[in-house]
Copies of this chain bind each other. A is one copy, B any other.
Amino acid sequence: MFAQPHAFPYKKGMKITFESAAEQIIGAGKRLDRLGLAPATAGNYSMRLHDGTLAMTVSGAHKGELTQSDIMRVDAEGKPLEDKKPSAETRLHTVLYAMFPEVNAVLHSHSVPLVVLTRNDPQAKFYNLEGYELLKVFPGIKTHDVRVSIPVFDNSQDMDDLGLQVQTVLRDRPSTPAYMIRAHGLYGWGRTMKEAAQVVEGLEVLLSCELETLKLKRG
């Protein structure tokens, strides 16, 4: 997927500094909060920096009101490089950066439709989305006439175990744009923060469409 030509310029050799990453993370938080995708202190966001370390949100901050002090540096394994506590889900970020060298931004959102849909089908391992124009917001998708399968994992507080599951499933499906955790939220990523944000926003809208459709079908 990432090898294909793409609408958003990924400048090879682009040097992302901590300050630029922090600014982009703060902006993403404001937007996801406004869209209802960052309730309470839920969610966590990161970017890969020019030196391979990560800018990561700290634990417990409200994502709509982030300041630079709510963002910290961790190394590629997620170990803190300063005296703050990174998000408890840092492992789920480092897994993605390790698997996909092109990925420079990861966003984790929460939403009502995701929680309701994944609880409604408690055995499903994938959520299939088909026939939507908005599928084209996923990198590499050029037509609505396609089926995209989003992996669904059961929720867990064991991040190493969850990270391993993610790794195993994504290894065989490198063009997957995002995955979901049941009754929890979704992870979306991209070469740029803009791309990651559009993946998350697009997928959340598609989940809203699915939930509304299901209500009509249940009648």
List chain A positions with a Cβ less than 8 A from chain B. 7-8, 39-42, 59-60, 62, 110, 112-113, 115-116, 119-120, 131-134, 137, 142-145, 155, 157, 181, 183-185, 194, 197-199, 201-202, 205, 208-209, 211-219
Contact = CB atoms under 8 A, between A and B. Distances in A.
Chain B CB within 10 A, most for which of A116, A142, A197, A218: A116
Nearest to A201: B40
Nearest to A198: B40
Contacts of A7: 41, 59-60
Nearest to A9: B60
A198 B197 CA distance: 24
Nearest to A31: B64
A143 to B, nearest CB: 5
Given A40-B137, A133-B183, A60 B8 contact: yes
A127 to B, nearest CB: 15
Contacts of A115: 132-134, 209
A23 to B, nearest CB: 14
A144 B157 contact: yes
Contact of A202 (B40, B133, B143, B219): B40
A120 B213 contact: yes
A212 to B, nearest CB: 5
23 contacts: A8-B60, A39-B201, A39-B205, A40-B134, A40-B137, A40-B199, A42-B202, A112-B209, A113-B212, A115-B132, A116-B209, A119-B131, A119-B209, A119-B213, A120-B213, A132-B184, A133-B183, A143-B157, A144-B155, A144-B184, A215-B216, A215-B218, A216-B218
A178 to B, nearest CB: 12
A208 B144 CA distance: 23
Contacts of A119: 131, 209, 213
A42 B208 CA distance: 16
